[in-house]
Amino acid sequence: MAFSLKDSWVWDFWLADDGDTFHMYYLHAPKSLGDPALRHRNARIGHATSHDLINWKSHGVVLQPDDPDAFDATSTWTGSVLQGPDGLWRMFYTGARFYETHNIEAIGVATSPDLYTWTKQPAVVLEPDVRWYERYGDSAWPEEAWRDPWVFADPEGNGWHMLITARSNQGDVDDRGVIGHAVSPDLTTWEVRPPLSKPGAGFGHLEVPQTVIMDGKPLLLFSCGVDTLSAEKSEGFDGGGIWSLQTTRLTGPFDVATAAVVTTAPLYSGRLVQDRAGQWLMMACHDANSDGSFDGLVSDPLPVGRDPEHGSLTIVPSPKNP
């Protein structure tokens, strides 16, 4: 059954697997706000567990703002979880500070010995480097985009990589979305690097990036709705939602201009995960419907495969998913 909360909207989420239990961390905000658009300013990170990716038990809030002067003073946003070589679990997540006209994003980290209890580290881990990335005020874009960190080990054993939802400091305002990049030798010290994709690919931003090896080949997954595609790309195009492309390396570069749509709205913020049988599945949140309503829940897992011609992600038809 889909994951939802009676009194809160649920949207972006990410997963960790300890070998016995699947852990889902999710953004949520109270429905008492009235307007779903206000959820971004009130997001908290919750935790749920499952043994089958279908039946979930919620454990409540694990991270939320607690310091009015911190980088996450307003909201705690999307991230990723992994276990370091020291056995400690790390959650790299987005902190947001909202002002009257805009918001500023930065990336922080929290640690846990068991995936249940988390301790935030007060220092900012990463902010955008002006050599390559847009900061707020550099264009008419209404935020400083630096969020959704996806962290993974270098395939050749050379430290760690972080993919980031970011924007280039060059190009048309609606066409600056790029996959930001940072590297670390130890998961503690990070260095911002140039983006792994180029602006001008048709995206205002590329949200919740994820890379996996599927069927022996690297795949990039990201999300961008039709309302944040560039004017040129969106012309005559009624899709948008979750996108994918086959790549040559987990660490890029990524030719995102060639990405193909996996699902259109309302499915968004897709995440790939393997069940205990090794089947690749995709879960996604239910974003805004065509009538503007917002369901605020996470979908059941959808079986996925690869397009044999292009290598992009496809939904596998089933009786429940025609």
Confidence of residue 322 (pLDDT cuts 50, 70, 90): very low
Q: How many structural domains are present in the chain?
A: 1
Q: Is residue 186 part of a domain?
A: yes
3-state secondary structure of 42: helix
Q: Is residue 320 in a domain?
A: no
Residue 2 lies in a domain: no
Whether 108 is covered by a domain: the verdict is yes
pLDDT digits (tens, 9 = 90+) for 163-181: 999 999 999 999 999 999 9
Instruction: Give the gyration radius of the chain's Cα atoms.
Output: 18
Tokens of 117: 């209890």
Burial class (CB in 10 A: 0-12, 13-18, 19+), 268: buried
Would you say residue 1 lies in a domain? no
Tell me which H or E stretch contains 10.
strand 8-17
Cβ-Cβ contacts under 8 Å for 165 (sequence gap 6 or more): 145, 146, 147, 148, 177, 179, 180, 205, 206, 207, 208, 209
Per-residue confidence (pLDDT) for residue 240, from 0 to 100: 80
Decide if 321 is inside a domain. no
Number of H helices, E strands in the chain: 1, 21
Segments forming the whole domain that contains residue 176: 8-315
Q: What is the pLDDT of residues 253-281, one digit of tens each?
A: 999 999 999 998 789 999 999 999 999 99
Q: Is residue 322 part of a domain?
A: no
CATH code assigned at 268: 2.115.10.20
Averaged pLDDT score across all residues of the chain = 94
> What's the CA gap between 66 and 79, in Å, rounded?
18
Report the C-alpha gap between 206 and 245 in whole angstroms: 13
- In the block, which residue shows the tokens 């949207």? 11
> What global pTM score does this model have?
0.96
3-class SS shares of the chain: helix, strand, coil, % to 5 = 5, 50, 45
Measure the CA–CA gap between 218 and 60, rounded to whole angstroms: 34
Residue 3: inside a domain: no
- pLDDT at residue 1, rounded to an integer: 59
